[in-house]
Amino acid sequence: MTTTVTSPAPASGAAETKSAAGRAPLRRGLLRWLFVAPALAYMALFFGYPLVRNIVMSFQHYTPKTYFTGEAPFNGLDNWRAVFANELFTDALWHTALFTVGSLLGQFTLGLALAVFFSRRFRLSGFVRAILLLPWLVPMVVSAVVWRRILDQDHGMLNTALHAVGLAPQDGVPWLSSPGVALLSAILVNIWIGIPFNMVILYGGLQEIPRDLYEAASLDGSGPWRTFRSITLPMLRPVITVVLVLGFMSTVKILDLILALTSGGPADSTQTLGTVTYQLSFLQLDFGQGAVVGNVLILISAVFAVLYLRANRADFGKGK
């Protein structure tokens, strides 16, 4: 992301030097471009090329045969039509939206609460904070498998615990076996996984806020809520945007968690764009249609990346 922001700057510099006479400035311009070149080449190779390939692929009849013959005839909008006519795609789009919004909301709120909590130092706070990092360190598939056991309707730990305190219905909550509940369960698990990331970054941001601001606030007689709203939140804004954008990017393309937790079921109730792409590309081997869903995902991510960049620009504008 940073490379795209910085690259226009040398470009405009080069334009200025070109207007100036003499060879030395010209060489300097060339030199500037040489510094940019590795980054540009890297971007073109590792981001540009796959992106363009994926877009082209979505307009092709791209099947296993293509790998053997190299032939991928263009089929216009066929792939796009097929995908958009597929009920599963619309469902998955909706599930992805719910999953992303739900996960981000939960992860962020709880992460922020914990970060604020831990920013006051107390005994063992470092130790407890380290423990809270665990979900982040465990591979996602492993946590999903563990959660599958915890959420089992008959013998799962969660239902047993709820029974013990008399909160669960007679035959237990069908966490993963009912289409009405499974998506919520997946969101809850993902929140659990995402809290440490949010907490760590936000905690770091909190440490950056100068202490004297809080002192000044307390001298002015502001209470804890007012301090949080008028000092902590605004000072934390850049960090918050980063956390949310990164969280969004990793949540919207969710695949492994869902595959390990529910395989998209029951009755397709946890199908997301990620699982649909996986199904199309790797099980049905229809790479063209898989690419269409992939492109939709890229488009959604791109929209948010642009929003993020604009938000950042606004920040800089205000500061200077």
Partner 1 sequence: MPFLAGRIRTRRGRVPALAATLACALVAPGLTGCAAEPDPGTVTVLNSATDTAEHTANQRFFDRCGKPLGLKVEQISVPADQIASKALRMASSDSLTDILELDGSELPQFAQTEGLRPLDDVGVDTSGLSASAKSLGSYDGTQYGIARSVNSLALIYNTKLLKDAGVTPPTTWKELRAAAKKLTAGDNYGMAFSASPNADGVYQFLPFFWSAGGDEARIDNGKGEAALQLWKDLVADGSASRSVVNWNQQDVNDQFVAGRAAMMINGPWQVPVLSAQKKVDWAVASIPVPEAGKPAVPPIGGTVMAVPKNDEDPAREKNAGKVLNCLNSEKNQLQWGESVNNVPTRATAAQAYAKQNPKLAAFAELVTTARSRTAKVGTGWPVVGDALAGAFQSVLTGRTSPEQALHRAQQQASAGK
Binding footprint of partner 1 on the chain (CB under 8 A): 45, 63-70, 82, 85-86, 139, 141, 145, 148, 152-155, 174, 176-179, 256, 259-260, 262-268, 279, 282-285
- Output the smallest distance, CB 67 to partner 1, in A: 4
User: Which residue's CB is nearer to partner 1, number 75 or number 178?
Assistant: 178
Task: Could you list the beta-strand ranges (E) of the chain.
Answer: none
Shortest CB 186 distance to partner 1, Å? 12
Task: Tell me the HSE value of 152 on the side-chain side, using a 13 A CA sphere.
Answer: 9
How far CA 218 is from CA of 119, 206, 226, 231, 295, in Å, comes to: 17, 17, 10, 11, 51
Contacts of 44 (CB under 8 A, 6+ apart): none
Nearest distance from C-beta of residue 68 to partner 1, angstroms: 4
Cα distances from 88 to residues 82, 83, 236, in angstroms, run 11, 9, 39
3-state SS of 88-102?
Answer: HHHHHHHHHHHHHHH
What are the strands, taking DSSP E only, across 92-211? none
Q: Which is nearer to partner 1, 91 or 305 (CB)?
A: 91
Cβ proximity to partner 1, 17 vs 177, nearer residue: 177
* Minimum distance, C-beta of residue 95 to partner 1, in the bound complex (Å): 14
Give the nearer residue to partner 1 in terms of CB position, either 119 or 178: 178
- Residue 154 CB, shortest distance to partner 1, in Å, is 6
Q: Which is nearer to partner 1, 146 or 311 (CB)?
A: 146
